[in-house]
Amino acid sequence: MAQGMKLQFTHQAYQTQAVQSVVKVFDGQPLAKGSFELANTHTGTASVQYAPDGTIGNSLHLSAEQLLTNVQQVQKANGLEAASELAAETWTLTSAQGEEQPAFCPHFSLEMETGTGKTYTFIKTMYELNKVYGFKKFVVVVPSVAIREGTMKNLEVTRSHFAADYGNEPCLPILYNSNRLSDLRHFAQSDALSVLVINIDSFTKDSNKINQPGERAFAPIEYIRSVNPIVIVDEPQNFETDIRRKALRDLNPLCTLRYSATHKYHYNLLYSLDPVKAYDLGLVKQIEVDGVQADESHNQAFIELLKIEQKPKGMAAKVRIDVNEKNGVKRKDVTIKLGDDLYTKSKQREAYANGYMLTEFLSDQEIEFSGGTRLRLKEQQGGLTDDVMRFQIERTVAAHFAKLKNLKPIGVKVLSLFFIDKVANYRSYDEDGNPVPGKFAQWFEEAFNKYAQKYPGLIPHAAEEVHNGYFSQDKKGKGSNAKTIWIDSTERGSKKDDETYALIMQKKEQLLSEDEPLQFIFSHTALREGWDNPNVFQICTLNETQSQMKKRQEIGRGLRLAVNQHGARVEDKAVNVLTVIPNESYEAFARTLQQEIEDETGVSFKGRVKNARAKARVQRRALSVEDEALFKAIWNKINYQTRYSVKLDTAELVSQSVAALKDTHQYPRVQAPKVRSLRARLVMKQEGIQGVRNAVGETDAHYQSPRVPDVYAYIQNRVHLSRSTLFAILEQSGRLDELLINPQASLDLVVTAVRKTLQELLVEGIEYHEINGKRYEMTLFDEPVETYLSSVYPQIQDDLTTPVSKTVYEAQPLDEEKQAMGDAFPCVFSDSDVENRFAQDCSLDERVKFFFKLPGRFRIDTPLGTYNPDWAVVFEGDTRVYFVAETKSSTVESDRRRDENLKIRCGRKHFELAEEDVVYKDVDSLKALIV
């Protein structure tokens, strides 16, 4: 990626679905004049209010009853349990003059797994809400400096992308700075789409500058309150204290939109992309674990704190230590209280001779020993020797070089991230304060030089150029003698972290460039949250005490799909694999990660984390003369490449679209929304905040557009048909009156009905034609397939001593990538249990003469994206080839299944060119294929 190149962003259907889930909550809200040219707009119908004091704010007109109805419809469409009541807060907002006004704020939650573009999604949501309804003021509240910097960076890098999507709509991003409080007035008075990004700790206390009355006798926060902003809460699980909840209310939000992968409470959950869906749909990297575990050599003082509990006679702690027994040293659990010495408890083990008397319970989570050693719950000391951590570094470097060898030809740079618990282990200082390499840096450079010789020229930089640390900074000394040093900061959002976060955030694209030598990053706390990079492929945890960072937080730094040197996303499953090198076994890491996900989301992640050391290279086997001839004969029947054309009967499109729209069971009539009067508006004057514009209240009156909006531009932007065709559909549908009742809901309903009908007819009218001379080569099978032992049939050992017969490879690889959901949902995989059973049946059934799985690069173009058939099977005494279109996957939802079924119909048309040589079937078992 040359300097100045930008990350590319594509339209992902799952992100669009999340955006529209929010937009539809406001069905019935007055539409933006710019989009629909509504005439005769009067006070009280616009979504934006212009105050005499110059402030420009949002205005909500929907009743709580209508919002609940909209929420329930969104939840039903997204397969979520419908809410029985609206999650909202009401309170009294007090002005600077002590005047009390009623306030109302509904809360909406969206669950998006780490790495799926949560920040991109809520930025797009702001643009869309502005486009559709005209809302102008948004406040993004974040829990930390790191996330704050990441949000500002995302607003910067997506600017041109959204400018193209939204007609160069100006967007004003403002980063809150307590030394530039005048920016808040600019935010309140700007007529552009305005986004204020602020850290929660900036306004939780009365002593914060933003809450202090200034020369004008009112606090700067009143600028925010006056515009009734839509508040976007990033990582809301961090905001569930009374102080922080009150701080959010003090912003006077029109509503809050809450985005997280790990919600504590799901207020009006609108959309859910949980870890299992994201993982199975290939929206994040797959995870493999290369676990490194210390042997129980018992040479060091090993301690693990298991439990702290209140006993009748005082506090007690249960710890695990090494104990001298008759038959040798055993690791045992013992209970200790204040004054107990581990030297005694271990039966005089020399390793505990000095400094291991329990002297204090620091809290109900932490203890301290006489020698200064502190342990928190579940922490351990002494379990990792220098040799183990040195081996972890080497494994990480080895994986980095191996990955880079495969990815450099396609322009993908590889990054590795190390988490450490002591900065001094990476960088320390001599007596004069000059930095010197710590042991981690020394071990890294030794490992790098070793593998640089094994892969000559792969990384054209010296060892000292390719790694660096990102830690919090402090000053040592005074005046001209002061020097910057790196410290073990644990303060989240501290000022000491600001420069660290800004540095790494602002260089995200530079890190992706092959011209930038840096590719191995060491971090203490700076990169644990709020930062990620799409090309992190290895994460290594180097901790002398076992890491207390949650596994989900740990792997979240590297889950995002990789990008190439053009800034474009790479969606190949074989590329997107994150290798974690933890300081524990694969089994322990996988078990903990799976449990964390299940505890937080209620879904099982079992079997999805792979063991990096349980891999096999499956080779093409030497076929007999008869099998080789049969394989070539089959391949030559099916390896043609095609293009397609489509015949579309416009009259039939109109007829079927009208019939669909008249089906009120499938497409219920749009209901008129109940609206609310203007929200209470605080008027800002030089002497302070005064008065109210209107009281909050609800009414049964229905908002109606004085005239029909220009619907054609809206629909044509989403379904590419002529105006005459759309006019015929709308005129004959008998539902034009609904445009007057609720324009937005009516238009979206028409778009859905017409789009589905159009897709059906496109598939029905599709014709395939062979491309002269273009055929898939048999060499697609020549390259060895590297896969996990759990993803092949039969379940084999590393030496492949039990090869399967009647197929191409020594063992049959399963879970080949297939584009089941087209461009919208890439990388959907067949259910491995179903595939394993199918392969087993083919292998054991005497009626099957030969079978194999089609390679992932075997693609059939369709109007809904490319399609990859699954299996080819030949039976004894039958010269035809049978295809199984797919093996059913339980993770595919009904709407996506519809798209898959349409692709299967296209596949059937494609193979009709083979005439009677190929029978194309859609089944989920060999038995169903035979029947």
> What does the pLDDT look like over 442-472, one tens digit per residue?
999 999 999 999 999 999 999 999 998 877 5
Structure tokens at 472: 């919090």
pLDDT tens by residue, 148-187: 888 999 999 999 999 999 999 999 999 999 999 999 999 9
Structure tokens at 202: 């900036």
Query: Reduced to 3 states, what is the DSSP secondary structure of residue 622?
Result: coil
The pLDDT value given to residue 336: 96
Q: For residues 733-746, b (16+ Cβ closer than 10 Å) or e, as one string?
A: bebeebbbbbbbbb
Res 393 pLDDT > 90: yes
Confidence of residue 528 (pLDDT cuts 50, 70, 90): low
The pLDDT value given to residue 926: 87
Nearest residue to 386 via CA among 542, 506, 584: 542
User: Percentage of residues in the chain with pLDDT exceeding 90?
Assistant: 48
Q: Are residues 920 and 850 both part of a single domain?
A: yes
Q: Are residues 513 and 369 both part of a single domain?
A: no
How many helices (H) and strands (E) the chain has is answered by 26, 42
The pLDDT value given to residue 548: 53
The pLDDT value given to residue 308: 94
Contacts of 364 (CB under 8 A, 6+ apart): 308
CA angle, 425 then 146 then 572, to 5°: 85
Q: At what angle do helices 495-506 and 145-157 cross, to 10 degrees?
A: 30
The pLDDT value given to residue 318: 95
Residue 92 lies in a domain: no
In angstroms, how far is CA 296 from the centroid of its own chain? 38
Query: Reduced to 3 states, what is the DSSP secondary structure of residue 606?
Result: coil
Residue 600 lies in a domain: no
DSSP string, 36-92: H---S--TTT-SEEE-TTS-EEE---B-HHHHHHHHHHHHHHTT-PPPSS--EEEEE
Give the end of a domain, one of 326, 352, 381.
381
Mean pLDDT score, 428-452: 90
Q: Are residues 511 and 572 both part of a single domain?
A: yes
Q: Are residues 436 and 422 both part of a single domain?
A: yes
Q: What are phi and psi of 523, to 5 degrees?
A: -140, 150
pLDDT tens by residue, 607-645: 889 999 888 888 888 899 989 988 998 899 899 999 999
Q: What are phi and psi of 574, to 5 degrees?
A: -65, -25
Question: What is the total count of domains within the chain?
Answer: 3
Range of the domain at 518: 387-584
- Please, are residues 106 and 248 in contact by the beta-carbon 8 Å criterion? no
The pLDDT value given to residue 818: 35
pLDDT tens by residue, 10-40: 899 899 999 999 999 999 888 876 444 433 3
495 by Cβ neighbours in 10 Å (0-12 / 13-18 / 19+) ranks as exposed
Q: For residues 22-54, b (16+ Cβ closer than 10 Å) or e, as one string?
A: bbbbbbbbbbbeebbebeeeeeebbbbbebeee
Q: At what angle do helices 743-764 and 650-662 cross, to 10 degrees?
A: 130
The pLDDT value given to residue 686: 42
Per DSSP, helices labelled H in 578-665 are 586-601, 625-638, 650-662
Comparing 44-53, 145-154, 501-510, which segment has the lowest mean pLDDT? 501-510
Q: What residue ranges in 706-841 does DSSP mark as E strands?
A: 766-775, 785-788, 792-793, 812-813
Structure tokens at 5: 């190149």
Whole-angstrom distance, CA of residue 787 vs CA of residue 832: 13
* Strand 472-476 with 467-470, pairing: unpaired
Adjacency order of strands within the sheet including 848-853: 848-853, 871-875, 881-884, 918-921
Q: What are phi and psi of 385, to 5 degrees?
A: -90, 170
pLDDT tens by residue, 743-785: 878 888 999 999 999 999 999 999 999 998 899 999 888 888 8
The pLDDT value given to residue 504: 66
Q: Enumerate the β-bridge partners of residue 307.
A: 318
Q: Are residues 533 and 622 both part of a single domain?
A: no
Residue 599 lies in a domain: no
pLDDT tens by residue, 833-882: 677 788 888 888 989 999 998 888 899 999 988 898 888 899 888 777 77
Residue 779 lies in a domain: yes
Structure tokens at 158: 């997506």
The pLDDT value given to residue 297: 57
Adjacency order of strands within the sheet including 328-336: 328-336, 314-325, 303-311, 380-381
Q: What are phi and psi of 284, to 5 degrees?
A: -135, 170
Whole-angstrom distance, CA of residue 857 vs CA of residue 710: 44
Q: Are residues 365 and 394 both part of a single domain?
A: no
Residue 546 lies in a domain: yes
Whole-angstrom distance, CA of residue 84 vs CA of residue 269: 12
Q: Are residues 547 and 460 both part of a single domain?
A: yes
Nearest residue to 782 via CA among 851, 850, 855: 855
The conformational region for residue 795 under phi > 0 = left, psi -120 to 50 = alpha, else beta, is: beta
Res 800 pLDDT > 50: no
Q: Are residues 358 and 422 both part of a single domain?
A: no
Res 500 pLDDT > 50: no
Whole-angstrom distance, CA of residue 867 vs CA of residue 785: 21
Comparing 269-278, 403-412, 823-832, which segment has the lowest mean pLDDT? 823-832
145, amino acid identity: V
Give the end of a domain, one of 381, 410, 437.
381
Whole-angstrom distance, CA of residue 368 vs CA of residue 259: 38
Res 730 pLDDT > 50: yes
The pLDDT value given to residue 728: 93
Residue 709 lies in a domain: no
Cα(first)–Cα(last) distance of the chain, in Å? 54
Comparing 47-61, 74-88, 338-352, 483-497, which segment has the lowest mean pLDDT? 483-497
Q: What is the DSSP letter of 697?
A: -
Q: Are residues 359 and 401 both part of a single domain?
A: no
- Please, are residues 278 and 284 in contact by the beta-carbon 8 Å criterion? yes
Q: At what angle do helices 13-23 and 118-133 cross, to 10 degrees?
A: 50
Structure tokens at 825: 């949902």
Contacts of 154 (CB under 8 A, 6+ apart): 119, 120, 123
Structure tokens at 473: 């900074």
Whole-angstrom distance, CA of residue 405 vs CA of residue 302: 40
Structure tokens at 178: 């307590």
The pLDDT value given to residue 218: 83
Whole-angstrom distance, CA of residue 45 vs CA of residue 702: 11
Confidence of residue 69 (pLDDT cuts 50, 70, 90): very high
CA angle, 815 then 415 then 585, to 5°: 60
In angstroms, how far is CA 338 from the centroid of its own chain? 46
Whole-angstrom distance, CA of residue 62 vs CA of residue 675: 4
Q: What residue ranges in 200-313 does DSSP mark as E strands?
A: 230-234, 255-260, 269-273, 286-289, 303-311
188 by Cβ neighbours in 10 Å (0-12 / 13-18 / 19+) ranks as buried
Res 4 pLDDT > 70: no
Contacts of 667 (CB under 8 A, 6+ apart): 660, 661, 749, 752, 753
* Strand 374-376 with 472-476, pairing: unpaired
Q: Residue by residue, what is the 3-state secondary structure of 272-304?
A: EECHHHHHHCCCCCEEEECCCCCCCCCCCCCEE
Per DSSP, helices labelled H in 479-522 are 495-506, 508-512
Q: What residue ranges in 657-715 does DSSP mark as E strands?
A: 675-676, 682-685, 688-692, 698-699
Q: Are residues 555 and 453 both part of a single domain?
A: yes
Residue 464 lies in a domain: yes
- What is each CA distance from 574 to 161, 287, 579, in whole angstroms? 28, 11, 12
Residue 438 lies in a domain: yes
Owner of token pair 């339209």: 11
Q: Summarize the chain as % helix, strand, coil (round to 5).
A: 35, 25, 40
Comparing 44-53, 289-298, 373-382, 471-480, which segment has the lowest mean pLDDT? 471-480
Give the end of a domain, one of 328, 361, 381.
381
- What is each CA distance from 604 to 274, 579, 601, in whole angstroms? 10, 21, 8
Q: Are residues 881 and 802 both part of a single domain?
A: yes
The pLDDT value given to residue 857: 85
- Please, are residues 682 and 226 in contact by the beta-carbon 8 Å criterion? yes
Whole-angstrom distance, CA of residue 666 vs CA of residue 682: 45
Q: Are residues 562 and 422 both part of a single domain?
A: yes
Contacts of 207 (CB under 8 A, 6+ apart): none
* 503 vs 110 pLDDT, higher one: 110
- Please, are residues 150 and 531 in contact by the beta-carbon 8 Å criterion? yes
Number of C-beta neighbours around residue 618 at 10 A: 21
* Strand 374-376 with 366-369, pairing: antiparallel
The pLDDT value given to residue 324: 92
Task: Tell whether omega for the bond before 794 is within 30 degrees of 0, i.e. cis.
Answer: yes
- Please, are residues 185 and 224 in contact by the beta-carbon 8 Å criterion? no
* 766 vs 544 pLDDT, higher one: 766
Res 554 pLDDT > 50: yes
